Structure formats: structure tokens, C-alpha cells
Amino acid sequence: MPRGMFKSGRLRKIFVKTPGSNTHVQYRQRKPSKAVCAHCKKELMGVPRELPAKMRNMPKTAKRPERPYGGVLCSACMRGVMKEKARSEE
Amino acid sequence: MSLYTVGRLCLKIAGRDAGKKCVIIENVDDSFVFVDGATRRKKVNVKHLEPLNTVLEIKEKASHEDVKAAFDKLEIEVWNKKSKKVAKRPTQVRKVASKTKDKPVSKPKKEVKKEDKKEEAKAESKVEDAVTEAPVEKKEEVKAEEATPEVKTETQEQKE
């Protein structure tokens, strides 16, 4: 029987084939949830779904799109924000 | 009549220049225009622009300097082209320069040192030879002297 800490579902299971053709269960940390647009809740493109330790070693340009509100709003919602900004100026 | 005429001030909506103001310099066709100002100077789809009320007095295909002069009156900062040229790699240049400087200075020093070392080595070797040769001869003589009396003594004892 697996240990109590492995039964809680905190860690994800990975079934690995060993050289002796047996299957062995490895427990690994679950990945964080997908990044989502703050306005329309759509999944964001260009934001990797990695553990924080990996994200820390990545360059800033690899972590989010290079535009205002990149990694927070989707491109369509960002355009809406910009249009409002332009029309409210005048 | 379209809004996107030459001199129209616009706000860029899409891409990395989004939120920055620009002026239309040239009309390519119904959907594309050339743009310059706080954004990069480039061809742009009309869908990526939001027109503003103001229209600047600018000629068609105006240069970046003319656009800059017009934007200064509105107190808008213009995208500076020259900032890109600064980002070169000075470290490589320094390394090459240091090598060239060091080489002519270091070479003659090494040669001088080598010559000195050779002379010193020769002198030392001569001294050593002299030192090594002398004791060997002496030892042999001593051995010979030691060997002969022993033999004599033995022979004397036998005789007795």
C-alpha cells in the first residue's frame, strides 16, 4: 500500500517502465493552473504552464507576451481597454 | 471618405506598441497605412489603429525628423532610433585590444628571460660538472688505496 502522503492526491502519479519490464509509480508535483484572462477568463496564449522554480530561471520575454497587459489580459480584451482609453481622452 | 488620411493622429491598439500614439504618413491601400511617431516607423493594418480627433500638418512620406518636430509641439515623446545602436558588445572589443597591446610587450621580455636562463643554466651545469667530476675521481683513488692494503694484510696473514 502507498504511504498516506501519496494517497491524498496532492502529487500526481507517473507510471514509469523499468528495464525489467515492470511498472513503477513515481509521484511528482502538480503543475499550476493555466493562466487566464482577467476580464473574459479565456486561457492565455504565450504563458507557459511550469512550476515556479522553472519559471524563475526563464527569461522575462519567455514568460508573457511583449505588449501592455501581456500575461494579464488576452489580446482582444487589451484592444477594448485601449479603445476606451483613446475615446475617453477626447 | 475614410478617417485614415495623411496626418491623422492615431492610438496603436495591438502589438507591443499598443497604447502609443502615431501619425499616418502614407496610405498604401484600403486596409494598410504607414505610421511613425512614438511607435516604430512601420506598415500597419488599419484594424490595429484607433483614430483620434487631431490632424497634424505633415507632408506625405514625411521624414522621422519632421514627425518628431510635430510631436514635440504636442509634447509627446518620440521613439528614438539611435537607442538600438548603443546596445553593442564592448567586451569583445576590449579583449582583442588587450591581446594586441600585451603581445609586443610580453614577447621580448620572454626572450630576454630565456636567454638569461640558458646562460645561467649553462653556467650552473659547468659548475656542477666540475663538482661531480672531482669527487668521483677522489673516491676511486680512495677505494683503490683502501683495497690494496687489505689485500696485503690478508696475504700477510696467510703467510704468517
Virtual CA dihedral for A39, A40, A41, A47, nearest 10 degrees? -80
CA dihedral sign of residues A31, A37, A41, A42:
negative
More confident residue, B94 or A4: A4
Q: Which sequence spans correspond to the domains of chain A?
A: 1-30, 32-90
CB contact under 8 A, B13 and A79: yes
Judged by DSSP in three states, A35 sits in: coil
Any idea which fold B8-83 has? SH3 type barrels. (2.30.30)
pLDDT of B19 > 70? The answer is yes
ipTM for the assembly: 0.77
The answer to whether the CB of A52 falls within 8 A of the CB of A46 is: no
CA distance A56 to chain B (A): 23
Q: Which sequence spans correspond to the domains of chain B?
A: 8-83
Distance CA A67, CA A48 (A): 16
CB pairs under 8 A between A and B: 30
- All cell numbers assigned to B62: 514625411
State the best of B11, B40, B47 to mutate against chain A, taking most chain A CBs within 10 Å. B11
Mean of the pLDDT values across residues A22-43?
95
CA distance A36 to chain B (A): 19
pLDDT of B84 > 80? The answer is no
Residue A82: which of B11, B16, B53 has the nearest Cβ?
A: B11
State the CB neighbour count (10 A cutoff) for residue A75. 20
Q: What residues are paired with A13 via a beta bridge?
A: A27
CB contact under 8 A, B18 and A90: no
The answer to whether the CB of A9 falls within 8 A of the CB of A23 is: no
CA distance A86 to chain B (A): 7
